[in-house]
Structure 1
């Protein structure tokens, strides 16, 4: 798959998710002010990596993407809620997100908190809606994976550790890796794994996809740390250099830019190795997507 073909498929999948997101919150009895705040962040753009991963894995395992679309798109609800809350003054205190003022800058802190709460809760209602089309036992298992990844032993716990480590000297590589595996990696892992589960994949396939998701999640965070130092703010849509200003330990601060790049590539190589048994355009897309994560800083 050429880089152009990769970007074309990534864009096509993202547009399918965008189309669903633009309508899915309507008719759910959400007060207008709250709906406006929720959609402000939910529809702010981005590559929609997490739902795209869910869709691609499900399709590789034989399940039509349209049947998975509500579930996959709901993972973007959870990701968006985490960004809204991370940007709050009590957390990372960021004024810019995806090139626009952060939610709390537009709607105030209270509405931003409620918008995040609403997105997180609505996610599981929408996920459950696929149970009429996909066997309920698969849906329940996939929902448990997502809830675990998003919860106190995953993304929420990782955010707690991130706050505890901020400004602290002597954060080790193992602590940094563990924190990011929870805060960033868990949701990427479950995006992949839930697609396989919904498709009824074997336990061997599930394990391979789990490792693939963990590996690209690790690579994604390392690259994010690198981009925070060397990236372009206009392209990233968020402030550059904020990690250093806030006293955060990052992969580049621990091991330098070059070694961080090497480590990210090692994780990508591990991810690609897990896809060795699979053939066809969906497997090729997932292989190229893994490499694309690192190529952003080549």
Structure 2
């Protein structure tokens, strides 16, 4: 299995699914254009990759190939992730002009359209999950994604992050970890849960994937903090150095660059160790963990 080829196949598969979501005319054409603009802005599709790879790893007996519910789940989590980026970029939040090398949604359109595009993507994700034929599975998927994206997960973490910006003193390492376990990590854990649920995973398999994703989510954020220091805007596709400019607490500001890099490497090692129950079948997820700390954007 070649990592790049598999990653490209997963990416193509979720993008094909997302295209079907917009085959019929939308009620508001401008809204649909804004939704598609952000969905198609060149994302890495890491969360859908996690859905697909986890599902393939956990395929239960009697399933020879991935069920269609996996495509729905992969597209749904990408829609929720994209909604969060649209809203994060707004002037009331991070006030960013660039996302993935392109104008942010509110700069391309306007603030009101961007807000509504994010709202529409969030609701569309749950609408599609609710339409899955297996009602029990649909409910489990909605529960996982809803918990991860809401006040007890991503949105709650974003609120903690905003509150921290108003503090005169730096956060502790534990406080920073709490923010990012929710803001970034919760959705990454949900990604492996969605794939595992679609594939009929055992409790042992689900527990191992949850441990993997928890470590991966933190590693992802640590690397983001590192890239904000060592990379440039052209490579990142967004404004570089914004964390430093806004005096935000980051893993680099708290630990220093070398220690932050060491922490990212340790987290990746711990993530890979959680997959030993699957060995040697978890090669893609192992290589994905390495990719998280080797990526340049």
Asked whether the two chains share a fold, i.e. TM above 0.5, the reply is yes
- Unaligned 5+ residue runs, structure 2? none
Cα distance, 1:142 vs structure 2 = 2.1
Identify the residue that residue 54 of structure 1 maps to in structure 2. 51
Task: Note if contact 1:128-1:139 (Cα within 8 Å) is conserved in structure 2.
Answer: yes
Q: Does structure 1 residue 267 correspond to structure 2 residue 264? A: no
Distance in 2 between the 1:275 and 1:28 partners? 43
**TM-score, normalised with respect to structure 1:** 0.93
Identify the residue that residue 113 of structure 1 maps to in structure 2. 115
Task: Note if contact 1:11-1:47 (Cα within 8 Å) is conserved in structure 2.
Answer: no
Distance in 1 between the 2:89 and 2:291 partners? 26
Task: Note if contact 1:141-1:197 (Cα within 8 Å) is conserved in structure 2.
Answer: yes
**TM-score, normalised with respect to structure 2:** 0.94
Q: Does structure 1 residue 231 correspond to structure 2 residue 231? A: yes
Distance in 1 between the 2:293 and 2:19 partners? 30
Distance in 2 between the 1:273 and 1:295 partners? 18
Distance in 2 between the 1:104 and 1:66 partners? 36
Distance in 1 between the 2:79 and 2:252 partners? 30
Cα distance, 1:136 vs structure 2 = 2.7
Distance in 2 between the 1:161 and 1:116 partners? 20
Cα distance, 1:187 vs structure 2 = 0.4
Distance in 2 between the 1:210 and 1:48 partners? 19
Cα distance, 1:288 vs structure 2 = 0.8
Cα distance, 1:149 vs structure 2 = 0.3
Identify the residue that residue 152 of structure 2 maps to in structure 1. 153
Of residues 96, 99, 105 in structure 1, which corresponds to 2:98?
96
- 1:100-134, Cα deviation, whole Å (9 max, x unpaired): 001000111000000000000000111223x22xx
- Secondary structure of 1:277's match? helix
Identify the residue that residue 75 of structure 2 maps to in structure 1. 73
Distance in 2 between the 1:28 and 1:146 partners? 27
Cα distance, 1:66 vs structure 2 = 5.3
Task: Note if contact 1:139-1:198 (Cα within 8 Å) is conserved in structure 2.
Answer: no
Identify the residue that residue 163 of structure 2 maps to in structure 1. 164
Question: What count of residue pairs does the alignment treat as equivalent?
Answer: 290
Change (3 A) 1:100 1:66: farther
- Secondary structure of 1:229's match? helix
1:1-298 equivalence runs, <5 A:
5-27=2-24, 29-62=26-59, 64-65=65-66, 67=68, 68-129=70-131, 131-132=132-133, 135-168=134-167, 169-279=169-279, 283-296=282-295
Distance in 2 between the 1:288 and 1:65 partners? 21
- Secondary structure of 2:238's match? coil
- 1:82-110, Cα deviation, whole Å (9 max, x unpaired): 00000000000000001000100011100
- 1:178-211, Cα deviation, whole Å (9 max, x unpaired): 0011001100110011111221111111111111
- Secondary structure of 2:113's match? helix
Distance in 2 between the 1:238 and 1:253 partners? 20
